[in-house]
Copies of this chain bind each other. A is one copy, B any other.
Amino acid sequence: MAYVLQVDFKHEGPFGDEMAAAFSDLAKSINDEKGFMWKIWTENRETNEAGGIYMFETKTDAENYLTMHTKRLNGFGITNVHAKLFEINEALTTITHGPLQ
């Protein structure tokens, strides 16, 4: 049963191409995290927010990543991290073409 982790926080930039350049090495490293399946990188320069939508193989993998990631964000000076962890309703998600893998 895959789990979704949604994370967002205040972020003053960089956004867009500058954000991609700043975090491409970090992005590559995330692919090696235990149980990691995929991440959508989110950003909103109007509200000064950024974050991610992640899919993990298990709840424990998602929880362990969130613990590590929150400490990492704190190290960047980001302390107001909002995170929610959810099971996926696979039957409904299949109807609406949601990516499950």
Contact = CB atoms under 8 A, between A and B. Distances in A.
Interface of A: 4, 6, 8, 15-17, 19-20, 23-24, 27-28, 30-31, 36-45, 49-51, 53, 84-89, 91-93, 95-100
A91 B38 contact: no
A54 to B, nearest CB: 9
A89 B41 contact: yes
Contact of A20 (B17, B38, B49, B89): B89
A38 B98 CA distance: 5
B24 A86 contact: no
A96 B52 CA distance: 11
A39 B91 contact: no
A98 B53 contact: yes
Given A49-B86, A84-B8, A86-B44, A92 B38 contact: no
A89 B31 contact: no
Given A31-B96, A40-B98, 9 more contacts: A16-B89, A17-B91, A20-B92, A38-B97, A40-B93, A40-B99, A41-B89, A42-B86, A43-B86
